[in-house]
Structure 1
Amino acid sequence: MTEARYPGGAGRGRSPAFIFIFLTVLLDMLSIGIIIPVLPKLILHFTGGEFNRAAEMLGIFMSVWALMQFIASPVIGALSDRFGRRPVILASNLGLGLDYLLMALAPALWVLFVGRVLAGIFSATVSAAQAYIADITPPEKRAASFGMLGAAFGLGFVLGPAVGGILGHYDLRLPFFAAAAMSLANFLYGFFVLPESLKPELRAPFRPRSVNPATTLALLRRTPELGRLGFITFIIMLAHQVLPACAVLYMGLRYGWQEREVGFLLAGVGVAGMIVQGGLVRPVVKAIGEKKAMLLGLTAGAMGFALYGWAPTGAVFMMGVPVMALWGFAQPSVTALMTKEVSAEEQGRLQGASASLGGLSGMIGPWAFAYAFAYAVDPVNGLNLPGLPFFAASVLMVLGLAAGLGVRASLRPGPELAGSAERVE
């Protein structure tokens, strides 16, 4: 019976469908990471070398991308509930590939801007990908599967900037062509190997009112449990914004690190995160359950951010990397707990709501943490506390930890269910 309900989990190994979803998330993150080193320089090219204007435009590009994620994520999640995961995921991959081609060939800044708007929309496919995982994975195995997706995020952001920097050295537009090729190749791969995961009888009608981001987020207020877990999800996503907003400037100012040192450090962060999310989430959750794994991750996050903010030397900062890696237990466990609070036909909307929280955090976090950093290092203020944004992120983790203490511990599977789950693993 469990095999029929979760066809994608049959067998001991990972199914082709799961591998495709993993690759979808990996290539999405890789394509995003590839253009990180070159997008500012391409904008600078279009602004005639005016750094002030280029910085302003880059900020607008980042905010609009996050806004599109916020708006599009619930729509894509709801569409996947109505029409199935397969067509939505494949359409997103195709659209993203064509969009990267548009940006690679952009003759003017406004065309590049349109490309970023479309990229924000099509990159929202993660909500459908997570719903697919919920469809094909038994509830007690979902934290491990979401941990694997977290590893895909980490790997993409480790490899992406390195590949983008190498390609961009030869031509600023070459990384966009590479990102397009990966997305289109993923579309073709999925077209032949990706089965539909959502049965027709479980599909929900598409209601335009339900895809309003505010309405979609209302799903998280349905029960106190969902409300707590939604709050924790937002806290985790918001705290994460301190890294892209401040880490590079912080390491350069406080430790005098150049691009090479920063690159090695970021690669180490990614590798440590992949070890935790790809290899340790499953056995740890199996041993202690989702709630305790979530609390462990939030505690490690609070300690790690505080260590980053306090670290007087680069060596001490690097000691915080393995501590922060344990933070990777938090999000997969929270996501797994949330999937148990809604029905099968609402998984897409749930993941869309979670992705909208990510978009909201992406609109708020970078600006807030960057402002905190600028204020903390401004010689006029005399505060001289460059670690302030990391301390703020640590406080957020403490708030998440306090909320997590009130979360219900998930029921451990009984002998019969555990045996069935083992058969479909």
Structure 2
Amino acid sequence: MRLPFLFVLLTVMIDAMGIGLVLPIMPELIVEVQGGTLAGAAVWGGVLSTAFAAMQFVFGPILGNLSDAYGRRAVLLVSLFVMSLDYVVMALAGSIWLLLVGRIVGGVTAATHATAAAFMADVSKPAEKAANFGLLGAAFGVGFVLGPVIGGLLSEYGTRAPFWAAAALSLVTFAIGLFVMPETVTDKTRRAFNLRRANPINSLRAIAGLPGIRPMLWVYFLYSISIYVYPAIWAYFTTERFGWSPQMIGLSLGVYGIGMAAVQGGLIRPATRYLGERGTIIYGMVIEIISFAILAFLTSGLIALLMIPLTALGAVVTPALQAMMSKATPDSQQGELQGVLTSLHALSMVISPLLMTSVFAQFARPDTGLYLPGAPFLLAMVLMVVGFAAFLKAKPKKV
């Protein structure tokens, strides 16, 4: 299973790269095809980002359910092939509407994280699930870091160069998958596809109806909203509070991404071995709560930089949560579960930036009654505490 593992991890990495690849070139690209000012480009950039996240929210459960019915191999390979074509369309796009269509299709094809996680659940023994979900998180973290870096480097060759490179990488990965990816859904675990059940709301109801899963979904959702405070306001917060340059901000985010990938790819295995999944989640959430409390009132940029490895230690929570929920879900619903988690993750990516930036704007204004640029971290801390309390009461049952 080594080659299929590598193929699935590479697929997840490419999905994550798709999120950040366009960030460095998007302002220039939008002005290029649309004209107008940078401010107008920012508005369209927000529309494109929201469309991408919205498609992940809608199609995470659909692809997860399709993989339960037709297999992980088919869903992953078709998505990669369509993704490569989508990047070609983006590279050739001459209008903002074609770019929008490209990001919509890209959001659909990038929703395969659910299918990749279902594959890991299929091939993992119960004791290995947290570690293998951690590898997926590490692959996502690496892709999230590499995406903006590659996009920025290739932008030297024009605004379309990153799309051509991504198309080639997706196509090569598709070709590799044709030869190495086995099918892990058997007749015993196969479940007929039902479009009505595959929509996000009905999938959520189906998974939430499993014993002990509902509170765990709330924990996952609250944790996701809280943790997205970093990409949502980090650039604004560090500029306002510490006067950091864009290069320094990029470096700090890169260090965080690498730290998160290292934790999910390496630390999760010994953590779950010695603490168990429940203990690992408690440890990770406590780390996050403490980090948020410190960052809210921090005034030293040096200490903030030194704290990044500490904050990354909390990244063990997501794979441990996934493992606990996977063990409480029947084999025939693994894809559906991961699709629901993908939807909740995408929804948090929509909600958190709107919420956190609004709080930052309120408390960082020159005329504010209480100047506290770190206020979003306090909000994240409160949400994390609520999620922590919900987790302590949750008792999912293994199937």
Is the pair's TM-score, using the shorter chain for normalization, greater than 0.5?
Answer: yes
Q: Is 107-116 or 34-43 further displaced after alignment?
A: 34-43
Question: In structure 1, how many angstroms separate the alpha carbons of the residues matched to 2:27 and 2:112?
Answer: 25
Corresponding residue SS for 1:296:
helix
Indicate the residue corresponding to 2:60 in structure 1.
73
Indicate the residue corresponding to 1:176 in structure 2.
163
Query: Is 1:370 the counterpart of 2:370 in the alignment?
Result: no
1:295 is displaced (CA, Å) by: 0.9
State the identity %. 39
Q: Is the CA contact 2:72–2:115 (under 8 Å) kept in the aligned structure 1?
A: yes
Question: In structure 2, how many angstroms separate the alpha carbons of the residues matched to 1:274 and 1:390?
Answer: 22
Which digits, 9 at most, give the CA deviation of each residue in 1:268-304, with x for residues without a partner?
1122112211111011101111001011111111112
1:312 is displaced (CA, Å) by: 0.5
Query: Is 1:275 the counterpart of 2:279 in the alignment?
Result: no
1:37 is displaced (CA, Å) by: 1.2
Indicate the residue corresponding to 2:192 in structure 1.
205
Q: Is 300-309 or 395-404 further displaced after alignment?
A: 300-309
Corresponding residue SS for 1:318:
helix
Indicate the residue corresponding to 1:225 in structure 2.
212
1:219 is displaced (CA, Å) by: 2.5
Question: In structure 2, how many angstroms separate the alpha carbons of the residues matched to 1:403 and 1:242?
Answer: 20
Question: In structure 2, how many angstroms separate the alpha carbons of the residues matched to 1:154 and 1:342?
Answer: 26
Q: Is the CA contact 1:47–1:53 (under 8 Å) kept in the aligned structure 2?
A: no
Q: Equivalent of 2:10, from 15, 20, 23?
A: 23
Indicate the residue corresponding to 1:349 in structure 2.
336
Q: Equivalent of 2:383, from 387, 396, 399?
A: 396
RMSD of aligned alpha carbons: 1.5
Structure 1, gaps ≥5 residues long: 1-7, 9-14, 412-425
Which digits, 9 at most, give the CA deviation of each residue in 1:309-338, with x for residues without a partner?
222011111132122111111000000000
Question: In structure 2, how many angstroms separate the alpha carbons of the residues matched to 1:192 and 1:286?
Answer: 34
1:224 is displaced (CA, Å) by: 5.2
Indicate the residue corresponding to 2:301 in structure 1.
314
Which digits, 9 at most, give the CA deviation of each residue in 1:229-280, with x for residues without a partner?
1111111211232222211121122211112211221121122112211111
Q: Equivalent of 1:381, from 361, 368, 380?
A: 368
Query: Is 1:64 the counterpart of 2:51 in the alignment?
Result: yes
Q: Equivalent of 2:183, from 192, 196, 201?
A: 196
Indicate the residue corresponding to 1:44 in structure 2.
31
Q: Is the CA contact 1:134–1:347 (under 8 Å) kept in the aligned structure 2?
A: yes
Q: Is the CA contact 1:307–1:317 (under 8 Å) kept in the aligned structure 2?
A: no
Structure 2, gaps ≥5 residues long: none
1:339/1:230 CA distance change after superposition, 3 Å: same
1:122 is displaced (CA, Å) by: 0.7
Q: Is the CA contact 2:30–2:41 (under 8 Å) kept in the aligned structure 1?
A: yes
Write out aligned runs for 1:99-114 (5 A): 99-114=86-101
Query: Is 1:358 the counterpart of 2:323 in the alignment?
Result: no
TM (normalized to structure 1)? 0.90
Question: In structure 1, how many angstroms separate the alpha carbons of the residues matched to 2:255 and 2:176?
Answer: 30
Q: Equivalent of 2:271, from 284, 294, 301?
A: 284
Indicate the residue corresponding to 2:231 in structure 1.
244
Aligned length: 398
1:184/1:222 CA distance change after superposition, 3 Å: same
1:376 is displaced (CA, Å) by: 1.5
Query: Is 1:328 the counterpart of 2:321 in the alignment?
Result: no
Which digits, 9 at most, give the CA deviation of each residue in 1:341-396, with x for residues without a partner?
11101000000111111121122111111111111212233332111112111211
Q: Is the CA contact 1:290–1:410 (under 8 Å) kept in the aligned structure 2?
A: no
Which digits, 9 at most, give the CA deviation of each residue in 1:113-163, with x for residues without a partner?
100110111110000000000000011110000111111111112222112
Which digits, 9 at most, give the CA deviation of each residue in 1:369-425, with x for residues without a partner?
1111111212233332111112111211111111111233888xxxxxxxxxxxxxx
Corresponding residue SS for 1:233:
helix
Question: In structure 1, how many angstroms separate the alpha carbons of the residues matched to 2:158 and 2:6?
Answer: 32
Q: Is 134-143 or 194-203 further displaced after alignment?
A: 194-203
